[in-house]
Each structure stands twice: as C-alpha cells, then as structure tokens.
Amino acid sequence: MKKISIVLGLILLVAILANLHTIIASAKWYSFEHNKNVSTETKTITYRDILERLYQQRKVAAELEDTVVYSRIGDEVRKGADDASDYQILLAHNEQITSLKVKLPITTFTDGDKTIEFISGHGEVLEICEDGQWEDFNGSLQKLMKKAQ
C-alpha cells in the first residue's frame, strides 16, 4: 500500500511538472480576465499611424507569447492586432481615403510594474476622409474594403 502511494505521488508530481507552463499561464489569464480595463477611444488614424501602432502591438504580442506567464495574454494581443488590421488594409488599398475616425476598444492590464495596453477588437468607423472631405460613415467596412480592391 505504501509503494502504491509513493508511485501515485510521483505520477502526480510528474503530471504537475509537465503541465506547469499551462497552470501558470492559466492563472495569469484568470487575473487578466478579472482585472483588465476595456475602454473606448475615438482616434483619427492614417495609414502610417495604424501601421506603426499594429507593428508595435504585434511586437509586444510576440514578446508576451514567448513567456511562460503571459503567453495566453500575448495571443489576445495578437488577435486584437489582427482584428484592427482591416483599417490598415483599407487605407493601403484605397488611395482616395486618407484618414479614418474610428472608435477603438482599448484594453489595459496592469500586473505589478508591467502595463499592457492594446487595441482589442474591430471597433467602429465613424467618419472617412475621402479626397480631403470628411463624411459620416454608416456602411459596412467589409463592403468598403471590397470596393477598394
């Protein structure tokens, strides 16, 4: 009976050690989900602005994904950049549209001395600057992107 307890204890210890990465990442993910602050910011963006912002966000995502503790949060940061890349694509493929006024969801998470802030979704296009004139936007971003291509 004593040998069975020792063997089961060792198997349990090996299982915990094998999944330590997942356990730690899940604990940090739980903290992230319960302590993140999501706000909405209205910004006027150009192609260069969104290109630089998404580049920096993907860089942060790569750094976070390479860590044990923040790997799941890094996935979320990358997903947010991928969602917001529609604006980059639109501005790159439509020469008449020079700027967009968008309402973006911004997520901020503070963990000790580390603060992570990123665009966390698609957002909403409010106005389009086309040929130097600002116009309200009430349509679909997907239709506008198809029109640009």
pLDDT tens digits, 1-44: 788 888 888 888 888 878 788 888 888 888 898 999 999 999 99
The whole-number average pLDDT for the span 93-110 is 91
Residue 148 has pLDDT above 70, yes or no: no
Please, what sign has the CA dihedral across residues 55, 60, 66, 70?
negative
Mean of the per-residue pLDDT values of the chain: 88
Give the integer Cα–Cα distance in Å for 85 and 93: 12
Residue 149 has pLDDT above 70, yes or no: no
Q: What is the DSSP letter of 94?
A: -
Residue 91 has pLDDT above 80, yes or no: yes
Give the integer Cα–Cα distance in Å for 7 and 90: 60
